[in-house]
Structure 1
């Protein structure tokens, strides 16, 4: 198989895994998240900020921002069709998000060795402003996400 065929096959697998996982993910769905792009070791998701996501300062509660970043992380680290879970993460909130804004979280694989991966997720508002920076560590379990 040539390099472009292998790349196309890896992309198709990542898309199939994401579609299957999202169909079984009521948490992400209930928050209005959508998958905007996915590929091997990568996922970008978005989420509109609703009134019921605001805290007492009338900005988006950090837990919802975290949920978006964590979901993008999950789709990126499972993109190879190997069941993978989060082993730990950190998040830094750098700017507020407000009702009506649409946040985007782009998860990018930084390292994958053996059963452990490291992924950085940048959460931005639609004006390009960075809202949060998330780093997740993944651990690969046994089994596949979908049957191939």
Structure 2
């Protein structure tokens, strides 16, 4: 199989896994999150800050920013079609989100080895201003997002670069 075919298959699998996960993800849908980019080890989600997401300072409650980053992390680490959950994560808030802002969380796989991975997520507003930085650590559990399709590359350390 050519490198182009492997990349095309991995992209199609990442998109299919994201579509299946999103269909079952009532939390992300209820917050108005949309998937705006998907690739193996990568996800980009957006969400508009609604008035009911504001805290007592009239800025976006940190929990909603965290939820957006966490969802992007989830879609990114499940993009290989292997059921993967969070083992831990942290967030640094850099600037406030405001009512009407469109926040975008871009999750990028930093490393995936064995059953664990590390993902960095940057949350920005519509002007490109960084709102938060999130780091998630993943753990692969049993099963596949889409049963029977297998993984794009179940052992990334075995692949060639």
Provide TM-score, normalisation by structure 2.
0.91
SS at match of 1:27: helix
Supply the distance in 2 between the matched residues of 1:34 and 1:134 (Cα, whole angstroms).
Answer: 19
Task: Count residues with an aligned counterpart.
Answer: 148
Secondary structure of 1:128's counterpart equals coil
1:38 matched residue in structure 2: 38
Q: Find the aligned partners of 1:141 and 1:56 in 2 and give their Cα distance.
A: 39
Unmatched 5+ residue regions in structure 1?
Answer: none
Q: Does 1:96 align with 2:96?
A: yes
SS at 1:95's partner residue?
A: coil
1:77 aligns to what?
77
Task: Find the residue that maps to 1:139 and give its secondary structure.
Answer: strand
Tell me which residue corresponds to 1:59: 59
Residue 142 of structure 1: CA displacement? Answer: 1.3
Q: Match for residue 87 of structure 2?
A: 87
- Where does structure 1 differ by over 2 angstroms across 4 or more consecutive aligned residues? none
Deviations 1:5-52 (A, max 9, x none): 100000000000000000000000000000001110000000000000
SS at match of 2:142: coil
Q: Gaps (5+ residues) in structure 2?
A: 150-161
Which residue does 2:115 correspond to in 1? 115
Q: Please provide the CA RMSD for this pair.
A: 0.4
TM-score, length-scaled by structure 1: 0.99
